Amino acid sequence: MSRNLTDDELRAPTAQIDEPVVAININQQYPHAENDDELLKCTSGIWRLSRERASKARYAFAVYHGVIKEVYEIEKWIPAGPATLEYWRGRERAQGNDFSGTHEGRSEFIGKVASDAVRDKFVGRRLPVGHVRNPILYFNC
């Protein structure tokens, strides 16, 4: 799993997003994801967002520096559970951060890697807009 953008990714075509999608900026965590399971965990939780709006999304994009690195099919969004909160507290401590107490009211999604047809359409492409302050962007939802 490459941690830096390649020249091809820097010149990647823009994704045409016509499905309901939540794009999640994982710039801080992507370099620390050592495998596919960790990439899913980095993308799926824990987020401050409108669960009502996010529940309309069919897919979640893992986005690193504007490039879609993976696509997940969302089954449902739920409040972040105790196991997820503990996982993130441990991950933050290991990275030299401590955000104790700031995870209340956060959400996570349950999902799986999208089909190859969907992944082929999006992975490696750039988002049509850049992320601003919020790590969550909604498309068509």
- pLDDT per residue, tens digit, the chain (141 aa), is 556 666 666 678 999 999 999 999 999 889 889 999 999 999 998 899 999 999 999 999 999 999 999 999 999 999 998 888 888 888 878 877 766 556 678 999 999 999 999 999 999 999 999 777 789 999 999
Say if 127 falls within a structural domain. Answer: yes
- Which pLDDT score, from 0 to 100, does residue 101 have? 59
- 78 contact partners, CB below 8 Å, separation of at least 6: 107, 108, 109, 110
Residue 1: its pLDDT value, please? 53
Sign (positive/negative) of CA torsion 4, 65, 136, 128? Answer: negative
Whether residue 13 is contained in a domain is answered as: yes
Any domain includes 1: no
Whether 56 maps to a domain, the answer reads yes
Q: Flag whether 2 is in a domain.
A: no
